[in-house]
Structures are given as structure tokens and as C-alpha cells.
Amino acid sequence: MHNSGTAQARGVRRWTGFMSNRPNDANQRYAEPRWPVQLALAAVIVLRFALPKALSFGQGWPLVAVFVVLAAIVSLLHARSAEKASHVVGFILLGSVTAALITSLLLLVRALPSHNLAPAELLKAAAYLWFSNVLVFAAWYWKLDAGGPYRREKASRHEVGAFLFPQMAMHAELPANPETWHPQFIDYLFLSFNTSTALSPTDTQILSRWAKVLMMMQSLMSLAIVVLLAARAVNIL
């Protein structure tokens, strides 16, 4: 009887260990990858070298070096689990990149009437500003929604945020299970891309006032780039 009880206890422990190692176990913490947003910001920084000198204030390399140092600090702090400090430095990095983007757009507006930019340079500058606009605001949405990635990781499911994604309204029997679904950077990138192309959200509802303000800014910047490019093209023709 004693041996039978021992074997049964071992079986229970074995079953419990198997259950705890399942990938969908509720105790396992959801980890949101950081590399997509790092890659997006790296693309924005590298593409700055495609800008004409007239639209790139200051010297190119020192400004890029500042961005790279800030990005390295964010990655290092995250690796050491210093999430609060990483969150603050991340704000500084995003704010710096956004300020550089807005400054380049203002310089484009100022330089356009003088006709100093060749058509090829204008096209490259407009392409950089438009793509950077998409990537930078996607990073802002990713950074701010539901308290940021660190707080989203603590939640077992994504229920409350600035955006109502379609997956949040789905029923549990559908492929995208709302019980386990979390937004990732690609979801915010899709939202940002739609905002810059359609000048409005498409499949996602906006719930927060700060998100509405950011989306208005993004739409205004995208519209300014497209209108300026079209006006210059008509002037050339």
C-alpha cells in the first residue's frame, strides 16, 4: 500500500510538472519582443543620411551618434531589468527622433519656395519623411498604449488600452483568442501606416485623447508631405 501511494504521488508530481511546462500556462509571463521597434528606429536614423544637407540641421554624424548612444542605453537597461529607467530614456530617444523629424519637415517647407532642391532630392526627402513619419508614430503608439510594453507584459490579456483592436472584440472560439492575444509592434505599425495613407484609422478604434492628438499630428505631417510634393511636381510640369 505504501509503494502504491508513493507511485501515485510521483505520478501527480509528474503531471503537475508537465502542466506547469505547457506553453499556454497562465503562470508563464508574456514577453513582448523589443527588436522590431529597435529596428524601426534604426531605420529612421540610418535613412537620415538620405536627406539633403539643406534639410538635415547640424552635422549628421554627431546627431546619429546621440541617437545610437540613447538606443544602446535603453537596450542595456532593459537587459538589466531596469524597466523604469529604460522607459524614461526611451522617451528621451523617441522625443529626440521626433524633434529631428519635425525640424526636417519645417526646413522642407521653408526651402520649397526657393526651388533650391532638385526634383530627385525632393523625392528622396519626401520619401524619407513619409516613411519616418510612419515608423516614429508607430513607436509612440507602441510605447504609450496601456502603459507601455512593460505593463502590457504583466497583464494576462490585453483588455484596456488607447486602441480597440479587432482581436479584442473577437469571441474565444475564433483563431485570434482574446484570452491570450497581446498587441505587438506590427499591430501599431499597421495602425500608423493606415493613418499616414488614409489619414485616419481603419480597423482600429481610438479610445484615448492622447492617441487622438498623436494621430492628428501624424495625419497632418503626412498630408503636408504629400501636398508639398504634389505642389512641387505641378510646378515642375
Summarize pLDDT for 50-101 with one digit per residue, the tens.
Answer: 787 777 765 567 777 888 898 889 888 888 888 888 889 989 999 989 998 8
pLDDT computed for residue 179 by the predictor: 61
Query: How far apart are alpha carbons 192 and 235 in whole angstroms?
Result: 30
Render pLDDT for 179-190 as a digit per residue (tens, 0 to 9): 677 888 999 999
CA 37, distance to chain mean position in Å, is 5
pLDDT in tens, 100-136: 889 888 888 887 777 777 777 788 888 889 999 999 9
pTM of structure: 0.79
Length of the chain: 237
Percent of the chain with pLDDT over 70: 77
Give the residue with greater pLDDT, 60 vs 13.
Answer: 60
Is residue 17 packed enough to be buried (19+ CB in 10 Å), middle (13-18) or exposed (0-12)? Answer: exposed
CA distance from start to end of the chain: 96
**Is pLDDT above 80 for 14?**
no
